[in-house]
Amino acid sequence: MKILVVIALFACATAFRLPPAYKQVPQEPRFENDEDDKIVGGYEAKKHEFPFIISLQRYGSHFCGGSIVSSTKVLTAAHCTRAVSYWQITANAGRHNVRTSESTGQSKSASSMSEHWGYNSNTYRYDVAVVRLSSAFKFNSYVKTVTLSSSNPSSGTRVTVAGWGTLSSGGSSPSKLQKVDVYVDSYSSCNSDYSGIIDDYTMLCASSGGKDSCQGDSGGPLVRAGTSTQVGVVSWGYGCADSRYPGVYAKVAATRSWINSQ
């Protein structure tokens, strides 16, 4: 009887510690025609406001975000690359509407990809990956690299997340790039919200009432508001814009040396 109780308690504790990656787009995303819809609590970005942002696509459909770190490298989330094979991926830059061809757009196929050596698919620590491209992006006003932050933003810092993710948890996806401003939460507050499963070294949390990233935003950039300095990578969380649970992002500063080594 004691053995059964211990096993049951261990199973419950283990299940409680494993965060679900809600930021991935469903395998069959639903598209709507309502162009007035917005990312959870946000609004449509200006065209080419984020020239470093990437739409990672599989068989022509957006599934995760990313950011340009060099002419032939894209930063994204490890849980995004784990879900696909590299030969299925195309990286699309310079686009505002992911459902139409745009003269400013550039599309490159992937040649390989690497997850951070410390990535843990159960805890989502070190949730970053680099996708290598078969040919180089041509940089211009619409396609540029992001700046990787060497320091973590302090609690209360206003940050911006952008992407083509769903407009509500499990909801429809927009065709045009959306953005939303949120604020960095303190580690103690976020860790309390998530009952002690937040890793302070590799994760940061950000929230603002009714505002958040959502499915399909995974791998996309979290930047200091008004800049092109990336501080986080969209990673995971419970629900979308749930007032009880902030969005969780992989810290760029903690993984910057590995990203540069790639």
SS3 180: strand
Catalytic-role residue among 48, 55, 67, 79: 79
Q: Which domain holds residue 167?
A: 45-261
d(CA 212, CA 161): 8
Mean pLDDT for the chain overall: 87
Angstrom distances, CA of residue 195 to CA of 19, 76, 82, 198: 11, 27, 27, 8
d(CA 177, CA 250): 21
Looking at residues 131-139, what average pLDDT do you find?
98
Q: Is residue 38 in some structural domain?
A: no
Q: Is residue 24 in some structural domain?
A: no
Catalytic-role residue among 37, 127, 212, 217: 127
Residues above pLDDT 90, as percent of the chain: 76
| β pairing state of 73-76 and 43-44 | unpaired
Domain total for the chain?
A: 1
Looking at residues 44-61, what average pLDDT do you find?
96
SS3 233: strand
Q: Is residue 205 in some structural domain?
A: yes
Q: State the pTM of this model.
A: 0.86
CATH number at residue 189: 2.40.10.10
Q: Is residue 36 in some structural domain?
A: no
Nearest to 252 by CA among 218, 217, 204, 216: 204
d(CA 58, CA 68): 18
For residue 239, give the DSSP letter. Answer: S
| β pairing state of 147-148 and 158-163 | unpaired
Looking at residues 28-38, what average pLDDT do you find?
33
Amino acid at 107: S
Catalytic-role residue among 67, 208, 218, 235: 218
Looking at residues 9-15, what average pLDDT do you find?
37
d(CA 110, CA 133): 4
127 a catalytic residue: yes
**Distance from the Cα of residue 174 to its chain's centroid:** 16
Burial 145-160 (b: 16+ CB within 10 A, else e): bbbbbeebbebeeebb
Q: Is residue 56 in some structural domain?
A: yes
Angstrom distances, CA of residue 160 to CA of 7, 42, 51, 228, 237: 43, 10, 14, 10, 17
Q: Is the pLDDT of residue 2 over 60?
A: no
Q: Is residue 28 in some structural domain?
A: no
pLDDT by residue (tens digit) across 155-183? 999 999 999 988 877 777 889 999 999 99
Which pLDDT score, from 0 to 100, does residue 168 have?
A: 74
Angstrom distances, CA of residue 9 to CA of 4, 6, 16, 20: 9, 5, 11, 20
Q: Is residue 10 in some structural domain?
A: no
Please give the residue that has the higher pLDDT: either 38 or 128. Answer: 128
Q: Is residue 29 in some structural domain?
A: no
Q: Are 190 and 115 spatial neighbours (Cβ–Cβ below 8 Å)? A: no
Q: Are 214 and 166 spatial neighbours (Cβ–Cβ below 8 Å)? A: yes
218 a catalytic residue: yes
**Residue 23's pLDDT band (boundaries 50, 70, 90)?**
low
